[in-house]
Amino acid sequence: MIKKFFLFVISIIMVSCGNETSSKKEIKNTSELHVIYLGKKLGFMDKAGKIIINPQFDRAKTFKNEGHYFHEGFGVVRTGDKWGYIDENGAYVINPQFDRANHFSEGLAQVRIGDKYGFIDEKGTLVINPQFKYAGNFSEGLASVTVGDKQGYINKEGEIVINPQFVQALDFNEGLASVQVEGKYGFIDTNGKYVINPQFDYAYSFSDGIAQVVMGNKNGYIDTKGNYIINPQFDTGSKFSNGLAVVRTGENYGYIDTQGKYKINPQFKSAGDFDSSGYAMVKSEDKYGIIDTEGKFVVNPIYDRVKPFKEGLAAVRIGNVYGFIDTEGKMIINPQYKKVEISFDRGLALIETEDDKYSYINKKGEIIYSFTTD
């Protein structure tokens, strides 16, 4: 269905490259561009609704699924069955020629030609020839690669610096990478030396010196030396955000601090991470609301669905329609939309009014631009 196609376009994870046709120095700030569609072709508009790049591409890739289609001066689009990079005017700066690719990370981008992965620089030059079964993005100077059925790491010269020996090798973060060998996960440093020996059933990447790990069916947390700061005891867990992590014990969700103590007791049927403003979506009984870091409801659980606050507004559903509330729970835009595809981002939200009919609206609920995808 066209609807599924539209959602796929928003979340697809690919990128590409080719011959440079314009100087990167000429590329301006592209952070205000929003994707639009004309049938199955996509283009871009600015926040005022002015079309900047006419719909002409078949696919586009967001950067980290944040709704931003340009990163480090490049947009990644597909024409036909090949991917390339465009500037803010829609001109190819790297011609479409790749079967798969990814956004630039630390100056290099992962690309696939045929069934092999390599890396290009920002001029579209292959600096690491396609030779790997798979390759991840560069992080802290290293990228994971698959050779045969094992994973290791290369540097930006394409040299294997940590031999392929792992079943799974995650990105480096805070100087450590989670790796799996013989069914257990541990952590290595950038020299490939084990800092924390393989012993966990799963281990997530470190964030702010803490990593979530799984032992048996229980989740706990360790420090960078491998010491438990919170013993495995939770049925599910998450990374810490604003000093709190969502955990589940039995059927209820609550929030713990970095000492493992409950800051907000388990009481919710579902719960989300706290955002940068200190708000989290929770489900109490059969309704959704929003709490602060003290566990107090800032928006009472009266809605059938709630999405996280974005730019001071949160999408809420009453019955079958969505509207928007502010952080005090006041309805700013009355419920009237079938769906909210993208909550407010750079001043605009993308909503669906009818099947395959979409509009960008501002924070007053005014329509800025409308399009269809059929």
C-alpha to C-alpha distance for 62 and 75, rounded to whole angstroms = 8
What is the helix (H) or strand (E) element at residue 212, kind and residue range? Answer: strand 211-215
Determine the structural domain holding residue 198 and report its residue range. 170-234
Determine what percent of the chain is predicted with pLDDT higher than 90: 85
| Structural domain ending residue among the three candidates 234, 261, 284 | 234
In a domain, 120, yes or no: no
Across 295-308, average pLDDT: 96
Q: Please report the pLDDT score of residue 66 as a whole number.
A: 65
Q: Can you give the CATH number for the domain in which 203 is found? A: 2.40.10
In a domain, 162, yes or no: no
Q: Please report the pLDDT score of residue 102 as a whole number.
A: 87
Residues contacting residue 151 through CB under 8 Å, at least 6 positions apart: 144, 145, 164, 165, 166, 167, 168, 169, 179
Residues contacting residue 112 through CB under 8 Å, at least 6 positions apart: 98, 99, 100, 101, 118, 130
Q: Can you give the CATH number for the domain in which 370 is found? A: 2.40.10.480
In a domain, 141, yes or no: no
| Structural domain ending residue among the three candidates 188, 206, 234 | 234
Q: Which amino acid is at 35?
A: V
In a domain, 42, yes or no: no
Q: Please report the pLDDT score of residue 231 as a whole number.
A: 98
C-alpha to C-alpha distance for 293 and 246, rounded to whole angstroms = 11
The two tokens of residue 245 are 């992590």
The two tokens of residue 320 are 């079958």
Checking if the pLDDT of 70 tops 50, the result is: yes
Q: Give the lowest-confidence range in 22-36, 42-56, 106-120, 170-184.
A: 22-36
- For residue 374, name the pLDDT band (cuts at 50, 70, 90): confident
Across 255-282, average pLDDT: 96
In a domain, 290, yes or no: no
In a domain, 92, yes or no: no
| Structural domain ending residue among the three candidates 187, 217, 234 | 234
DSSP string, 344-369: EETTEEEEEEETTEEEEE-TT--EEE
C-alpha to C-alpha distance for 177 and 283, rounded to whole angstroms = 34
- For residue 25, name the pLDDT band (cuts at 50, 70, 90): very low
Q: Give the lowest-confidence range in 68-72, 160-164, 313-317.
A: 68-72
Which pTM does this prediction carry? 0.86
In a domain, 196, yes or no: yes
Mean pLDDT of the chain: 90
C-alpha to C-alpha distance for 339 and 264, rounded to whole angstroms = 31
- For residue 223, name the pLDDT band (cuts at 50, 70, 90): very high
How many domains, the chain?
A: 2
In a domain, 17, yes or no: no
Shortest CA distance to 32 belongs to which of 309, 372, 334, 368? Answer: 368
